[in-house]
Structure 1
Amino acid sequence: MNEHFFQCPYCWEEISVLLDPSINHQTYIEDCEVCCRPIEFEVAFEDGELVQFEVRDIEQ
C-alpha cells in the first residue's frame, strides 16, 4: 500500500489515502475524513508506479 496526500475538493484540507499498486486502474468513491463529503478517485499504476491520481467532487 502507498500513502498519497492530496487536497479535498470541498474543504481544501490536506488528507491522505492508501493506494493499492497491485490494481492497475481504480475508480471509487470515498468520503473526506475531515468534512465527510463524497470524493470520486481515479487512480492508475504502471509497473507499481503511480501515473494518474485525480479527485473530483460529486455533489451537484
Structure 2
Amino acid sequence: MLHEVDIHCPYCGEPLQLLVDASEGDASEGDARLVEDCHVCCRPIELQLHVDTDGTVSVLASTDNDA
C-alpha cells in the first residue's frame, strides 16, 4: 500500500515528497513507523503513519531527538 506524502524536513525545513509503504506497520491498527533520509540534508526523519479505515494517511515527521 504505497502512499505519496508531503512533509517538511524537521532538520532543514525543506519540503519533501515521499513515497511510503504504510503496510509495513501493524495492519490491525493501521499504524506504521518508518525512517526516511532527507533528500536535501541526508539526516534520518522518523515518520509515524496512521491509515484510517477510508484509506486516508496522516503523517507525523520528527527527529530522533524529539522522542
The TM-score with structure 1 as length reference comes to: 0.79
Structure 1 unpaired stretches of 5+: none
Amino-acid identity (%):
34
Aligned partner of 2:56 in structure 1 is 49
1:11-50 mapped onto 2 (5 Å cutoff)? 11-20=12-21, 22=23, 24-47=30-53, 48-50=55-57
User: Does the 8 Å contact 1:21/1:49 carry over to 2?
Assistant: no
Tell me how many residue pairs correspond in the alignment. Answer: 59
Bigger fraction of residues in helix: 2
Q: CA RMSD in A?
A: 2.0
Consecutive unaligned residues of structure 2, counting only runs of 5 or more, are: none
* C-alpha distance 29-13 of structure 1, shift in aligned 2 (>3 A): same
Q: Give the alignment's TM-score, normalised by structure 2.
A: 0.72
Structure 1 residue 2 corresponds to structure 2 residue 3: yes
